[in-house]
Amino acid sequence: MEASKILVVDDERLIRWSIRERLRQEGFEVVEAGTLADAMALLQQGVDLMLLDNGLPDGNGLDALPAIRLAAPDVIVIMLTGTNSVEAAVEAMKAGAWHYLTKPVNLDELAVKIHQALETMHLRREVQVLREVVSSPWGPETIVGQSHAIQNVRQLLGKIARTAGSTVLLTGESGTGKDLAAKVIHYGSARANKPFMNITCSALQETLLESELFGHEKGAFTDARAQKKGLLELAAGGTVFLDEIGEMSLGLQSKVLRFLEEKTFKRVGGAQDVSIDVRVIAATNRDLHAEVTAGRFREDLFYRLRVLPVELPPLRDRPGDVQALIDFFLRRFSQELKKPVRAVSPTAMHVLAQQPWPGNVRELRNAVERAVLLAESEELSLDDFLLASTRTTHVHAQTIVLPEDGIDLDALQDELVRQALARTSGNQTRAAQLLGLSRDQIRYRLERMTTPVAQG
Ligand SMILES: Nc1ncnc2c1ncn2[C@@H]1O[C@H](COP(=O)(O)OP(=O)(O)O)[C@@H](O)[C@H]1O
Ligand SMILES: [Mg+2]
With beta carbons less than 8 A apart as the criterion, state whether 248 and 209 touch.
Answer: yes
Residue 456 falls within a domain, yes or no?
no
Please list the residues that pair with 215 across neighbouring strands: 229
- Report the candidate in 256, 245, 255 with the shortest Cα–Cα distance to residue 292: 245
Q: What is the pLDDT of residue 115?
A: 93
Our mutation pick for probing the ligand 1 site, out of 150, 170, 183, 362, counting the most ligand atoms within 8 A of Cβ, is 362
- Report the candidate in 333, 370, 337 with the shortest Cα–Cα distance to residue 352: 370
Return the beta strands (E) in 131-212 as ranges.
Answer: 168-171, 196-200
Ligand 1 centroid–CA 361 distance in Å is 6
Residues 211 and 264 in one domain: yes
Q: What is the pLDDT of residue 387?
A: 47
In this structure, which residues have their CB less than 5 angstroms from ion ligand 2?
Answer: 178-179
Return the CATH number at 355.
Answer: 1.10.8.60
Instruction: Check if 332 has its Cβ closer than 6 Å to any atom of ligand 1.
Output: no
For residue 424, what is the DSSP state? T
pTM of the model: 0.61
Residues 145 and 217 in one domain: yes
d(CA 277, CA 233): 9
Instruction: Check if 238 has its Cβ closer than 6 Å to any atom of ligand 1.
Output: no
Domain count, the chain: 4
Ligand nearest to the CA of 199: 2
Ligand 2 centroid–CA 251 distance in Å is 23
Residues 144 and 184 in one domain: yes
Residues 372 and 250 in one domain: no
For atom 16 of ligand 1, which residue has the closest CA? 177
Atom of ligand 1 nearest to the CA of 150: 1
Residues 355 and 406 in one domain: no
Instruction: Check if 180 has its Cβ closer than 6 Å to any atom of ligand 1.
Output: yes
Q: What is the pLDDT of residue 393?
A: 44
Last residue within a domain, chosen from 260, 292, 311:
311
For atom 13 of ligand 1, which residue has the closest CA? 362
Q: What is the pLDDT of residue 388?
A: 43
Ligand nearest to the CA of 243: 2
Residues 153 and 293 in one domain: yes
Our mutation pick for probing the ligand 1 site, out of 143, 153, 171, 179, counting the most ligand atoms within 8 A of Cβ, is 179
Last residue within a domain, chosen from 292, 311, 330:
311
Please list the residues that pair with 284 across neighbouring strands: 171
Atom of ligand 1 nearest to the CA of 145: 1
What separation in angstroms does the CA of 62 have from each of 59, 95, 239, 312? 9, 7, 50, 58
d(CA 151, CA 144): 9
Residue 67 falls within a domain, yes or no?
yes
The whole domain housing 431 covers 401-450
Instruction: Check if 179 has its Cβ closer than 6 Å to any atom of ligand 1.
Output: yes
Instruction: Check if 177 has its Cβ closer than 6 Å to any atom of ligand 1.
Output: yes
Residue 350 falls within a domain, yes or no?
yes
Our mutation pick for probing the ligand 1 site, out of 174, 180, 185, 199, counting the most ligand atoms within 8 A of Cβ, is 180
Cβ count within 10 A of residue 280 = 22
Query: pLDDT under 70 in the chain at which residues?
Result: 1, 127-136, 386-403, 450-456
Ligand 2 centroid–CA 398 distance in Å is 24
Residues 209 and 351 in one domain: no
Residue 455 falls within a domain, yes or no?
no
Residues 113 and 212 in one domain: no
Last residue within a domain, chosen from 90, 114, 132:
132
Atom of ligand 1 nearest to the CA of 170: 22
Q: Which string of b and e fits 325-339 if b means at least 16 CB within 10 Å?
A: bbebbbeebbeeeee
Instruction: Check if 176 has its Cβ closer than 6 Å to any atom of ligand 1.
Output: yes
For atom 9 of ligand 1, which residue has the closest CA? 177
Which amino acid type is present at position 293?
T
For residue 245, what is the DSSP state? G
439-448 contacts at long range (C-beta below 8 A, 24 or more positions apart):
442/417, 445/413, 445/414, 445/417, 446/417, 448/414
